Amino acid sequence: MTVPSAAAGNVPALSIVDLTKRYSNGVEALKGVSLTVAPGDFFALLGPNGAGKSTLIGIISSLVNKTSGQVQVFGVDLSARRDAAMRLIGLVPQEINFNLFEKPFDILVNYAGFYGIPRRQAVPLAEDELKRAQLWDKAFLMSRTLSGGMKRRLMIARAMMTRPRLLILDEPTAGVDIEIRRGMWKTLKDINIAGTTIILTTHYLEEAESLCRNLAIINHGRIVQQGPMRTLLAQLDVEGFLFDIEGELPAQLPVIEGATLAAADPHTLDLDMPRAMDLTRVFEALAAAGIRVRSMRTKSNRLEELFVRLTAAPAATPTEVSA
Ligand SMILES: Nc1ncnc2c1ncn2[C@@H]1O[C@H](COP(=O)(O)OP(=O)(O)OP(=O)(O)O)[C@@H](O)[C@H]1O
Ligand SMILES: [Mg+2]
């Protein structure tokens, strides 16, 4: 079998072209997704419930059949060489799927055995992985007795047993408290620094911000945004204010170029504007329209709000942002 001719470092860890998925009940979960993840990257796939994240991950890890499109893992085509592609991937699924009546150590060694790794090799690997996951002291307890966070770490340790080049995690930290989440971030950062490409899905912007270099936002089966994290964050550099107004707002609000103005209620104005914009311009425009501001406050949860707005936008042409 020929290895892709390009230098190994240039072959994307994941290349997806025009992927679609229609489930048998007619749901179009993916409507033409194209995505490239560079080797060594830490990549976030963000999107609301039902966006298509798990479907996408299911297809990459051969659990779900695609309807059309192309998927390559380190240059290995998923349709043509499914087993070879699968050997490159470690998957941490959204739901806990190990046997709760097995011990962590056995779960890891048996998993390795399933992938053809002999026991004498698997045993020291399992010890390494359980130590990295801070689970070595639980190695020989019934895994049913592990906490929710420990169970998730165990799934990461299990996926690492085959030394995958691409580790895919589907909401690894869902429902996990912030302290444990931070611990898992550290584990994932270590794995990434040691050379494994990571893709994770998450609802938490904070998580993507803390871990990932690049991201794609998926909504209703389409990529609505993709590019470097810092470019998105720069774009999120919008400030939101609420103005309490004396009297009632006029029916026609003034237009302020570059800013968005809306009535939150008859006495409250909602303003979004780029951070660099001068507030004086806003006050001048309001005064000219006969609107008198009594007080103003900053809107909280700016990031979440913008994320919601991005994913609420009609899924039109995907925006490719460059570094
Ligand atoms: N096995 C299935 N059969 C039919 N429809 C499905 C199936 N799995 C998912 N879907 C539908 O496909 C769409 C995408 O679901 P998917 O699970 O990929 O979303 P998600 O982004 O992972 O959501 P969440 O954040 O809630 O996990 C949804 O409309 C869902 O109802
Ligand atoms: Mg999901």
Residue nearest to atom 26 of ligand 1 (CA): 49
| Long-range interactions of 186-189: CB distance < 8 A, separation 24+ | 187/132, 187/133, 187/134, 187/153, 187/156, 188/42, 188/156, 189/42
Alpha-carbon distance 224 to 222, whole Å? 6
Q: SS in 3 state form for 53-80?
A: HHHHHHHHCCCCCCCEEEEEECCEECCC
Question: Edge-to-edge strand order for the sheet containing 42-46?
Answer: 89-92, 166-170, 197-202, 42-46, 214-219, 222-228, 319-320
Residue 238 and residue 293 in contact, taking contact as beta carbons nearer than 8 Å? no
Residue nearest to atom 9 of ligand 1 (CA): 55
Rg (CA), the chain: 24
Tell me how far the alpha carbon of residue 46 lies from the centroid of ligand 1, in angstroms: 14
Pocket test for ligand 1, best of 28, 55, 94, 222 (most atoms within 8 A of CB): 55
Q: Is 51 in the pocket of ligand 1 (CB under 6 A)?
A: yes
Integer angstrom CA distances of residue 42 from 25, 115, 321: 34, 25, 17
Nearest residue to 53 (alpha-carbon basis) of 232, 215, 230: 215
Residue 252 and residue 240 in contact, taking contact as beta carbons nearer than 8 Å? no
Here the tokens at position 125 are: 């690997």
Question: In the chain, where are the structural domains located?
Answer: 8-226, 236-312
Question: What are the helix (H) ranges across the chain?
Answer: 53-60, 82-87, 104-114, 119-132, 148-160, 178-193, 205-211, 229-235, 279-288, 302-312
Q: Which residues pair with 243 in a beta bridge?
A: 269, 296
Q: What is the pLDDT of residue 314?
A: 52
The residues, ordered by sequence, that sit 6+ positions from 96 with a Cβ below 8 Å of its Cβ are 151, 152, 155
Q: What is the pLDDT of residue 208?
A: 85
Yes or no: is domain 236-312 CATH 3.40.5.90?
no
Q: What is the pLDDT of residue 309?
A: 66
The torsion region of residue 282 among left (phi > 0), alpha (psi -120 to 50) and beta comes to alpha
Q: Is 23 in the pocket of ligand 1 (CB under 6 A)?
A: yes
Residue nearest to atom 22 of ligand 1 (CA): 54
Q: What is the pLDDT of residue 174?
A: 78
Q: What is the pLDDT of residue 14?
A: 98
- Give the strand pairing for 166-170 and 89-92: parallel
Q: What is the pLDDT of residue 26?
A: 95
Q: Residue-wise pLDDT tens for the chain (323 aa)?
A: 444 444 455 899 999 999 999 999 999 999 999 999 999 999 999 888 899 999 999 999 999 999 999 999 999 999 999 999 999 999 999 889 999 999 999 999 999 999 999 999 999 999 999 998 889 999 999 999 998 889 999 999 999 999 999 999 999 887 777 778 888 888 899 999 999 999 999 877 778 888 999 999 899 999 988 999 888 777 677 778 899 999 999 989 999 998 989 998 999 999 988 878 888 999 999 999 999 999 998 775 555 665 666 666 554 444 545 44
Q: Which CATH number fits domain 8-226: 3.90.550.10, 3.40.50.300, 3.30.70.100, 3.40.190.10?
A: 3.40.50.300
Here the tokens at position 218 are: 């998926």
Residue 113 and residue 41 in contact, taking contact as beta carbons nearer than 8 Å? no
Q: Is 175 in the pocket of ligand 1 (CB under 6 A)?
A: no
